[in-house]
Amino acid sequence: MKHTALVTGGSRGIGKAIALALAYEGMPVALTYNDKEKEAHAVVKEIEKIGSSAVAVRLDQGDRESVRRAVEEARERLGPIAVLVNNAGIAQKKPFEEITDDDWDAMMAVNLRGPFSLCQEVLPDMVKSKWGRIVNISSIGGQWGGVHQVHYAAAKAGLINLTRSLARLYSKHGITVNAVAPEWIATDQMKKDMGYDFDSIDFSNVPVGRAGTPEEVASTVAFLCSEGASYISGQTVNVNGGVYFG
């Protein structure tokens, strides 16, 4: 049986790599985008070239109605959602003293309430079929706190707890729920949106000694979505080059 996957934020970076990794495992993939429609459809074409099915679906995950529409469209076009990867999110570097209520609310709406809404929308299908995989993409900031992104770190910490709570509730139904916490992954978001110059960063404090790649995160997610990971639930898997061992 081919399990349909829904990957949020699948138009670039880690989300794109995850969508491709799951497609290589034979899964039909619905990947979402917010404003990068052209890039999302390019990923769909890549997936189709490897012989799998894919669709691109617009999603504003801070809006419940948009979540419902996206899940329903994915379900109608590819079948019931058996695998959900909550990858989409926003980031913002800002001193704690300058974070506004609007900044805080937007961060929580997209990075925490969005995954919560998506889980609520797809879990009935998973319970019905007695099989499911949910993987939430968190961050090292959600484990040890944030300095330049306190609101981001708080949302990602909440995502880890949501992961654990859902694992307690739904593992008995054959549904595993896990989180993956990356750090120093060389993506467009890190380079362009956050302003990191990976060519000039000193990685001496990273035991592996380098930045990670989206594909390294994606391979971890693909394993957690597999049959082989059926006894792993409620865990936060670190993909951080050894920076944090918690």
Catalytic residues: 152
User: 195 to each of 31, 186, 187, 188, 198, how far by Cα in Å?
Assistant: 26, 11, 11, 9, 9
Query: Which of 86, 150, 149 minimizes the C-alpha distance to 120?
Result: 86
Distance of alpha carbon 187 from alpha carbon 181, whole angstroms: 15
Q: Which residue type occupies 130?
A: K
Q: Residue 240, class by beta-carbon neighbours within 10 Å (0-12 exposed, 13-18 middle, 19+ buried)?
A: buried
